[in-house]
Amino acid sequence: MAKPAVSSSWIWFLSVAALIHMRTVFSSSSTSSRCYTAIYSFGDSIADTGNIYYDTEHIPSSTSMVLNPPYGETFFHYPTGRYSDGRLIIDFLAERIGVPLLKPYLGIKKGKIKTWNSLEGVNFAVGGAAALDASFFLEKGLYDVDVPASYSLGVQLDWFMDLLPSICNSSSECKEVLGRSLFLVGEIGGNDFNYLFQLGKTIEEAMTYVPLVINKISWAINKLIDLGAQTLVVPGNFAIGCNFFCLKNFPSSDMEDYDESGCLKPFNNFADYYNKQLLAELNRLQELHPDVNIIYADYYHASLQLYQSPEQFGFTKSILDSCCPLGNANNHNVPLKHCGEPGLISCNDPSQYISWDGVHLTEAAYKWIAKGLLEGPFTNPKNGFSCNSDI
């Protein structure tokens, strides 16, 4: 008996059905094909896109310089409240995913930003923010340094809760809307340790605070998951032993404390220890929430590669150089002005430097770090959570 002929239209239908099935499978099993409609960001100056710009009540004098030129000169051509000469990691993530650059919450709350769409995401990160609440520092007698009392991770989460009715109207709608969003929880916690170091606390003392910081981050992640977050990116700390500020302020007389790149090994070892503890907690949370995608962003190795092989990434200046302020970390007799002070001129080409203002990095450095996160290998699990064009 002859087999029945199969029409070309039927073949076309089967082909389309197969393609739809394949797309569904890959969309559900691989976040590399998942697109996000919004980003919600929490953190400190590494991710602040202007909250500090709209805070006229609590901004400390040491931070107010970010509102002056030459901040923002490379990309925006004027200060935006970003702690760099241009875009930050969060900006590159937004560009890749295809959502607008995140607007700062305080600008929205105070009515200064009129064009915000409630479904495009928002940034709650504030320069100087700590993971732990100000009350913790007060109780421990650690309030001798400039701790912004209003900007802890808990406060930022409260801001998110206050804004949530503008984003969604019911629990089910929130789970749907937030499930299509990307949550960046950090980098946060670095300032908790920076405050300790500035007060003269040892690395050993700082290590005792690691569980407290990680527990706070874990608490925030659980809160966001309960509200409907499905994809959370949680960065670790940078290779702080290579940071210009660290090299300038915590030099060692023991050359064994420095690695081949000139970085301070004790501080990098501390950051590495913290990151491993954070990753272990994220793995625990992932087991508790198997339907949620928790991504560890390895800021440590993504930044370390720049310090170890600067020429490979187009940087001609060493880790002992900072674009703004100008100076040399080895010359401890030369006082360095804060970037943004009147009359201070930055370097001619920030793209040749890793360090922008001695603490924060240049747009060029942040671009490489973002690229390493989006294209690998600096996420755990390895995850391409982008959608659109290349950086």
Tokens, residue 390: 């290349």
d(CA 337, CA 327): 9
Q: Where are the domains of the chain?
A: 37-239+261-301+363-380
Mean pLDDT value across residues 202-218: 97
**Non-local CB neighbours of 67 within 8 Å, separated by 6+ positions:** 52, 53, 79, 81, 340
pTM for this model (two decimals) = 0.88
Assess contact for 185 and 224: CB atoms under 8 A: yes
Out of 55, 91, 360, 386, the active site residue is 360
Known active-site residue 58:
no
* pLDDT value at residue 176: 94
Tokens, residue 162: 């206050």
Listed in order, strand segments (DSSP E) in 120-254 are 121-123, 181-185, 231-235
Assess contact for 85 and 358: CB atoms under 8 A: no
Looking at per-residue pLDDT, the higher value among 361 and 56 belongs to 361
Domain covering 37-239+261-301+363-380: architecture: 3-Layer(aba) Sandwich (3.40)
Out of 45, 84, 322, 355, the active site residue is 45
* pLDDT value at residue 330: 53
pLDDT tens across 53-77, in order? 888 666 666 667 899 999 999 999 9
Q: Looking at the predicted structure, is the pLDDT value of residue 16 above 60?
A: no
DSSP 8-class letter at 328 = B
- 3-class secondary structure, 92: helix
Known active-site residue 150:
no
Known active-site residue 45:
yes
pLDDT tens across 267-293, in order? 999 999 999 999 999 999 999 999 999
